[in-house]
A and B are shown apart, each in its own frame.
Chain A
Amino acid sequence: MKRRSEISLIQGMWYSSCRLWITLTLCSLLTLSSPVKAQNDYHIYAAFGPLFTFPGSLRVGMNHWELGLLGYGSYGFDKIFIFDHSYYTGFGLVLGPGTSPGFYGSLGIRKELFWGLHFRGELASIGLINGFLKADGQVGLTFEF
Chain B
Amino acid sequence: MSSATSGRTVPALQGTLIFTDWAFSVSATGVKSPLYYHSAYLATFHKLWSSGSFFWGSLRAGLGGGLFFASRGFREDPSQSVDSTQDLALGPSFLVNWYFLGPCYISLESLYGIRSPWSHLMLSFQDVTILSLGFQL
Question: Which residues from chain A sit less than 8 Å from chain B, CB to CB?
Answer: 18, 22, 48-52, 56, 79, 81, 83, 89-91, 102-107, 123, 125-139
Contact (Cβ within 8 A) A102 B123:
no
* B22 contacts chain A at the CB level, 8 A cutoff: no
Q: A52-B122, A52-B123, A136-B124 are in contact. List 5 more A-B contacts (CB 8 A).
A: A51-B122, A79-B54, A89-B51, A105-B96, A127-B130
Contact (Cβ within 8 A) A137 B124:
yes
Inside 8 A of A132's CB, which chain B residues have their CB? 6-7
Given the known inter-chain contacts A50-B124, A107-B61, please indicate yes or no for A134 contacting B129, CB distance below 8 A.
yes
Inside 8 A of B128's CB, which chain A residues have their CB? 135
Given the known inter-chain contacts A83-B51, A107-B61, A123-B94, please indicate yes or no for A50 contacting B123, CB distance below 8 A.
yes
- Report the bound CA distance from A91 to B98 in whole Å: 8
Inside 8 A of A107's CB, which chain B residues have their CB? 61, 63, 94
Contact (Cβ within 8 A) A133 B3:
yes
Contact (Cβ within 8 A) A138 B125:
no
Contact (Cβ within 8 A) A123 B112:
yes
Question: Which residues from chain B sit less than 8 Å from chain A, CB to CB?
Answer: 1-3, 5-10, 49, 51-52, 54, 59, 61, 63, 94-96, 98, 106, 108-112, 120-125, 127-131
B5 CB to closest chain A CB (Å) equals: 7
- For A79, A91, A128, which residue has the most chain B Cβ atoms within 10 angstroms? A91
- Report the bound CA distance from A107 to B48 in whole Å: 13
Inside 8 A of B111's CB, which chain A residues have their CB? 135
Inside 8 A of A139's CB, which chain B residues have their CB? 123
